[in-house]
Chain A
């Protein structure tokens, strides 16, 4: 899948490949040490952060954590209760 920044595609691919291997071979088997892909992640992040700025994406909107926060949507109570 493409990155939002065309010039980040190669860096993204390298990182994604590393991550997928780490996820299957390490993380799912209980190894939480994520050093393995950190160098790939770092350069990819530098590229994508720049591309997001160029695309006028509101970084604050993205940084907001909703899942697990008080702002997370919750299911309404069952109808008959």
Chain B
């Protein structure tokens, strides 16, 4: 069962600035785990720009996760479409390899804020899935917790880059509302249990607790 999450962030920068900053997001002080970034496809179709980038990130695996994943890096494909006329930037990222262990898909739509023409709203959706028998829930719960934390890091990192690129634009930082989830409370309890189970297993192995895979965007 795929878990779905969404959240909204506001950047106090214009859409044009965010679109430019998007290409310079890495490195930033919150992105130490990002190892490489390459453009592997780029094409103009009509007035839109289509791009595909390959990112590699360090893969921190908890002791209990080593039986499923022994790769040190995780590879991520990021597709993006930029429409400069409508001022819409859409990004879609997914991990490749180990998708049965954990797959995280993230879609972000950046558009001009209705509240303030000089701000940009980022609407983030994420789908987290794991198909490991018996451990799927635990891995999913771990992935989710990591994802929530990384959302804030992502916004912080992007703001850092935007502030250094456009220092005179804004001193205030983006606000990010809480990650809302479409999960019933019963399911939340089940998730909590799964997380606890995973934590207990991890603790019993006396190793540090990390997410089993790095979520797509930080």
Given contacts A27-B84, A67-B81, contact A73 B19 (CB under 8 A): no
A40-81 vs B, Cβ < 8 Å mask (1 yes, 0 no):
010011001100100001100110011110001101100100
In the complex with contacts A27-B84, A30-B84, A76-B182, A62-B47 CB distance below 8 A: no
Q: Is B42 an interface residue (CB 8 A)?
A: yes
Cβ contact within 8 Å between B4 and A1: no
Q: Which A residues touch B92, using CB under 8 A? A: 66-67, 72
B24 CB–A CB distance under 8 Å = yes
Do residues B79 and A4 form an inter-chain contact, with CB atoms below 8 A? no
Residue-wise interface mask of B (27-57) relative to A, using a CB-CB cutoff of 8 A (1 in contact, 0 not):
1000000111111101010110100101010
Instruction: Identify the A interface with B (CB < 8 A).
Output: 1-4, 8, 12, 15-16, 19-20, 23-24, 27-28, 30, 32, 34, 41, 44-45, 48-49, 52, 57-58, 61-62, 65-68, 72-73, 75-76, 79
What residues of chain B have their CB less than 8 Å away from a CB belonging to chain A?
A: 2, 4, 6, 16, 19-20, 23-24, 26-27, 34-40, 42, 44, 46-47, 49, 52, 54, 56, 75, 77, 79-82, 84-85, 90, 92, 94, 96-97, 105, 107, 125, 127, 182
Task: Apart from A28-B19, A48-B40, A73-B127, list 11 A-B contacts with CB within 8 A.
Answer: A3-B37, A4-B54, A19-B39, A28-B84, A52-B54, A57-B54, A58-B96, A62-B96, A66-B105, A73-B105, A73-B107
